[in-house]
């Protein structure tokens, strides 16, 4: 698949519904054909003895000044035990609907329910945010996620966090070790980029098949990591030997390069390299494990 085709079909999209004019659920299913060896983690299935959290959804939210003339779905989930926390932990998910999808490979809210019930992770408020839709800019997702700058984390801090706090009535934990950002593909590099530019905003990064390739300069991150004093962030990376290999680069090699750079710079990191392709299947199988590892003391 060449880069032009990659852009036109939105291969990087993997959430259900319509996003940038394409059916992303179909693209997820195509990407996952080689990943049938991976199944959702056991914690992704409901436990009748575990309480379910509360959910609030804003459809086509258009209140962003950072990314004007855009609309996006924003979903907020509070774990059932969030009332026990004076300041609950915070999770932010790029391509939020893909992580919410109840029949998808991750099923994030069910995993959150099960892990908070056992105390494996603290009470949490999780927000699932789709990239913006903009009729004049078909590559809005890439501009938001792939751009190596502080703009996206400023969007979270100045617009999404106030929306979450005003909606839930909770003041989110300000300790970066209690704040996680997660994403797949371009959403994965976006997660690392947000924590890199503002480690006080996010100290925990979960990247699935991150696009550390030459889309909008993300291929420079391994060198940047090696040359810059270590930042106080903890990183979990996942990729696979059948990940994308197209004009901007090899996702498998790029993630291996990132892991080597994190190791060189002595970061607290974990890299799991499997046999899968460019899908969330392997990340979903690892999802509970990755949350436990990231939130460990």
- 24: confidence class by pLDDT, cuts 50, 70, 90: very low
When pLDDT is averaged across residues 16-25 and rounded to a whole number, the result is 33
Alpha helices in the chain (DSSP H): 3-9, 24-31, 96-100, 108-118, 140-145, 151-155, 161-168, 186-197, 221-227, 251-264, 281-285, 287-294
CA atoms within 13 A on the CB side of 52: 8
Task: Please give the pLDDT value at position 8.
Answer: 27
Q: Are 91 and 173 in contact (CB under 8 A)?
A: no
Residue (of 240, 191, 248, 242) closest to 220 by Cα position: 248
**Hey, which residues does 94 pair with through a beta bridge?**
129
How many other β-carbons are positioned within 10 Å of the β-carbon of residue 48?
A: 4
- State the pTM of this model: 0.90
CA dist., res. 170 & res. 91, Å (int):
14
Question: 83: buried, middle or exposed (CB in 10 Å: 19+, 13-18, 0-12)?
Answer: exposed
CA dist., res. 7 & res. 147, Å (int):
16
Task: Say whether pLDDT at 151 is over 50.
Answer: yes
The percent of residues in the chain predicted with pLDDT above 70, rounded, is 89
The angle subtended at Cα 96 by Cα 184 and Cα 132, nearest 5°, is: 95
When pLDDT is averaged across residues 64-73 and rounded to a whole number, the result is 97
Average pLDDT of the chain to the nearest whole number: 90
Task: Please give the pLDDT value at position 43.
Answer: 98
- 54: confidence class by pLDDT, cuts 50, 70, 90: very high
* 70-127 pLDDT, tens digit each: 999 999 999 999 999 999 999 999 999 999 999 999 999 999 999 999 999 999 999 9
The percent of residues in the chain predicted with pLDDT above 90, rounded, is 86
DSSP calls for 211-253? --STTTTGGGHHHHHHHSPPPS-EEEEEEETTS-EETTEEHHH
Which residues in 169-193 are b (16+ Cβ under 10 Å) and which e?
A: ebebbeebbbbbbbbbbbbbbbbbb
- 136: confidence class by pLDDT, cuts 50, 70, 90: confident
- Of 6-15, 199-208, 246-255, the least confident: 6-15
CA dist., res. 237 & res. 182, Å (int):
10
């Amino acid at each position: 698949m060449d880069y032009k085709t990659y852009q036109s079909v939105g291969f990087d999209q993997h959430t259900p519904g319509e996003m940038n004019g394409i059916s992303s659920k179909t693209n997820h299913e195509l990407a996952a054909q080689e990943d049938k060896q991976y199944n959702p983690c056991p914690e992704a299935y409901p436990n009748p003895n575990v309480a379910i959290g509360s959910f609030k959804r804003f459809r086509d939210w258009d209140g962003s000044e950072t990314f004007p003339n855009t609309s996006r779905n924003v979903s907020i989930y509070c774990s059932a035990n969030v009332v026990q926390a004076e300041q609950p932990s915070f999770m932010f998910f790029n391509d939020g609907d893909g992580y919410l999808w109840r029949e998808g490979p991750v099923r994030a809210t069910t995993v959150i329910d099960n892990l908070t019930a056992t105390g494996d992770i603290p009470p949490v408020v999780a927000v699932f945010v789709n990239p913006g839709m903009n009729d004049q800019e078909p590559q809005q997702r890439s501009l938001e996620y792939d751009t190596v700058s502080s703009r996206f984390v400023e969007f979270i801090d100045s617009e999404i966090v106030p929306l979450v706090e005003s909606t839930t009535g909770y003041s989110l934990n300000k300790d970066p070790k209690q704040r996680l950002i997660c994403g797949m593909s371009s959403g994965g590099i976006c997660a690392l980029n947000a924590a890199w530019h503002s480690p006080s905003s996010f100290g925990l990064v979960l990247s699935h098949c991150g696009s550390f390739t030459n889309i909008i300069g993300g291929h420079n991150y391994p060198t940047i990591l090696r040359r810059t004093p270590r930042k106080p962030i903890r990183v979990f990376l996942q990729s696979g030997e059948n990940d994308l290999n197209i004009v901007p680069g090899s996702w498998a090699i790029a993630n291996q390069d990132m892991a080597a750079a994190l190791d060189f710079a002595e970061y607290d990191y974990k890299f799991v390299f499997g046999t899968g392709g460019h899908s969330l299947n392997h990340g979903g199988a690892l999802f509970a494990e990755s949350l436990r590892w990231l939130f460990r003391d």
